[in-house]
Amino acid sequence: MTPLLDVGDLAREYPVSAAGGRRILHAVDGVSFSLGRGRTLGIVGESGCGKSTTAKLTLGLLSATRGEISFDGEPVTAQRDRRWRAMRRRMQMVHQDPLAALDRRLPVGRQVVEPLLIHRLVDSAGAGRDKALALFEAVGLAPGLFERYPHELSGGQRQRVVLARALVLDPLLLVCDEPISALDVSVAAQVVNLMQDLQARFGMAYLFISHDLKVVRQIADEVAVMYLGRIVEQGPPDALFHAPAHPYTEALVSAVPTPLRGTQGRIILKGDPPNPVDRPSGCAFHPRCPRALARCREEVPALRPAPDGRLAACHLVAAAPAAAAA
């Protein structure tokens, strides 16, 4: 079956000024993944690893330095023409800060109707009111909130408005960039449960970006772990979190607090992530890896299948027999 979203060798570079002249910052470097209809891919990693840049590239909000993106069989580019606008109707974004994503000068109901007006699917705000009210009900908002302004709502209510606005165009894909990080724990759990219910009801695919591994484990069908602009491990969440293959994934999982373990067994990485302008040679993780080999300092590991079927970019992980033979 053809995937809904197919990303191949995606990269985004930025020229920056540095000592000794112009350098290149590799924000995203050779990312590849696919996402099927009605499925969820979670992307996790430290701040600055390229998660949000990957999201913006996927939506055509940024132009790629290299690589290809295909959505529903059509190429995605950052050229904002009629074809791009038509494609954006079917791929929407849920932002991290719902208050910043909403216009404080307009009632929230009007903002849910607004995409219908922009894409000329209705002639007036009144014509789209019924659909907006139906989506208010779908996301758990009372009709009485329709004429309220963003500052009059709670954080959870604002995020539900943002979800309703994204759904009003009947998208096939929602790109969710840290959609619950601005919410408290109880409200975040409600929003995650709501998103799962909405996916079951409407059949959208989610590209779910987060630093919260527990949430990603709950919502994702597959997880990609990013480090310094590259995917270092990818596979089913239970496999990744029960028995991580890459040392970086292992460190991330060990940092998740659990009532029984506490801080015992936590892996403390040395130093900070390297500067993406001055990437280490070989595996970018080797300066912080407790099990790095001499080969890790010299050779960049490819993302290849491991024996259990997951993908891992690590010289310590044995390749699957078929991959090794190739």
Residues 151 and 194 in one domain: no
β strands within the chain, DSSP E: 5-18, 21-35, 40-44, 66-71, 74-75, 91-94, 173-177, 205-209, 222-227, 230-235, 304-305, 311-312
DSSP secondary-structure letter at 5? E
| pLDDT value for 322 | 45
Q: Distances from the Cα of 8 to the Cαs of 29, 35, 54, 194, in angstroms? A: 11, 12, 12, 31
Question: Could you report the per-residue pLDDT of 28-78, keeping only the tens digit for each?
Answer: 999 999 999 999 999 999 888 899 999 999 999 999 999 999 999 999 998
If pLDDT is split at 50, 70 and 90, which confidence band does 1 have?
confident
Residues 28 and 75 in one domain: yes
Question: Could you report the per-residue pLDDT of 73-124, keeping only the tens digit for each?
Answer: 999 998 888 898 888 889 999 988 888 989 999 999 999 999 998 888 888 7
Q: Is the pLDDT of residue 257 over 80?
A: no
Residues 239 and 118 in one domain: no
Residues 150 and 10 in one domain: no
| pLDDT value for 259 | 64
Residues 118 and 12 in one domain: no
Domain boundary among 170, 185, 206: 170
Q: Is the pLDDT of residue 323 over 60?
A: no
Residues 163 and 179 in one domain: no
Question: How much is the average pLDDT of 21-26?
Answer: 87
Question: Could you report the per-residue pLDDT of 171-230, keeping only the tens digit for each?
Answer: 999 999 988 877 778 888 888 999 999 999 999 999 999 988 889 999 999 999 999 999
| pLDDT value for 260 | 62
Give the residue carrying structure tokens 């009709």: 143
Residues 152 and 37 in one domain: no
Residues 218 and 202 in one domain: yes
Residues 126 and 18 in one domain: no
Q: Do the Cβ atoms of 261 and 298 come closer than 8 Å? A: no
Q: How far apart are CA 59 and CA 57, in angstroms?
A: 5
Q: How far apart are CA 46 and CA 150, in angstroms?
A: 30
Element (DSSP H or E) covering residue 157: helix 155-167
Residues 155 and 244 in one domain: no
CATH code, 178:
3.40.50.300
Domain boundary among 170, 200, 220: 170
Q: Distances from the Cα of 167 to the Cαs of 50, 89, 136, 160, 201, in angstroms? A: 26, 10, 10, 10, 11
Q: Do the Cβ atoms of 170 and 194 come closer than 8 Å? A: no
Q: Is the pLDDT of residue 319 over 70?
A: no
Question: Could you report the per-residue pLDDT of 273-284, keeping only the tens digit for each?
Answer: 788 888 889 999
Percent pLDDT > 70 in the chain is 94
Q: Is the pLDDT of residue 324 over 50?
A: no
Q: Is the pTM of this model over 0.75?
A: yes
Percent pLDDT > 90 in the chain is 56
| pLDDT value for 176 | 93
Residues 157 and 26 in one domain: no
Q: How far apart are CA 314 and CA 247, in angstroms?
A: 8
More confident residue, 21 or 12: 12
Residues 221 and 120 in one domain: no
Number of structural domains (the chain) is 2
DSSP secondary-structure letter at 77? -
If pLDDT is split at 50, 70 and 90, which confidence band does 6 have?
very high
Neighbouring CB atoms inside 10 A of 86's CB total 11
Q: How far apart are CA 59 and CA 202, in angstroms?
A: 20
Q: Distances from the Cα of 186 to the Cαs of 38, 135, 161, 181, 193, in angstroms? A: 26, 22, 18, 12, 11
Domain boundary among 170, 200, 216: 170
Domain that holds residue 258: 5-90+171-325
| pLDDT value for 199 | 93
